[in-house]
Amino acid sequence: MKTRTRSTKDLQSKQRAGSYPRATYLIKELERAVRRRLEAIVEPLGLTAVQYTALSVLATHPGMSSAQLARRSFVSAQAANEMVAALERRGLIRRSAAAEGGRALWIHLTPSGERTLARCDEQVDQLEGQLFGGVTRREEALFRDMLRTCREAVRPRTAAAEPPSGRA
């Protein structure tokens, strides 16, 4: 019995020694650092990181509903409605009724929204250049593939059927 307990403890010690800091910790640490930098980029343009994400999503997937935009921007439906209203007041997006009728409104970038997004994207491109400055293009592509694989592995089954969230 002692041998089994010892070997289990030895195995756990070896796993911990090779696994720390945990990948989940490193991912969160990276997310926080990138988020701070992203906020610094978009704040002078009067945006939040979530609003930038929404504009990025709409650039690659024009004509979404508010509910679809909420899911792809990582916010609740209520937060998305508030965000959409704010972006619309600023003239960065427009909503139009669906051709088939109904209550759904499709959201699109306006020319002003496209220009604002382009200004942000220039700086975000520089940020990503810094992020990947120490790796080859092949390693960057591998990293992106690994992130997608990990994301799919932990995504709830109902959300896994939804396509990836675009550029943001």
Task: State residue 16's pLDDT score.
Answer: 54
Contacts of 127 (CB under 8 A, 6+ apart): 34, 37, 38, 41
What is the 8-class DSSP label of residue 163? P
**Count of beta carbons in the 10 Å neighbourhood of residue 67:** 12
CA atoms of 144 and 5, how far apart (whole Å):
40
pLDDT at 160: 44
**Quick one: pLDDT at residue 43?**
97
What's the pLDDT tens digit per position in 25-38? 999 999 999 999 99
Structure token pair of residue 147: 């992130």
The pLDDT of residue 18: 65
Give me the average pLDDT of each 10-residue run along the chain (168 residues). 56 60 94 96 96 96 93 92 95 87 85 98 97 97 96 79 51
What's the pLDDT at 164?
53
| pLDDT at 17 (0 to 100) | 55
Cβ atoms of 69 and 54 within 8 Å: the answer is yes
Q: Which two tokens stand for residue 105?
A: 């409104």
pLDDT at 101: 63
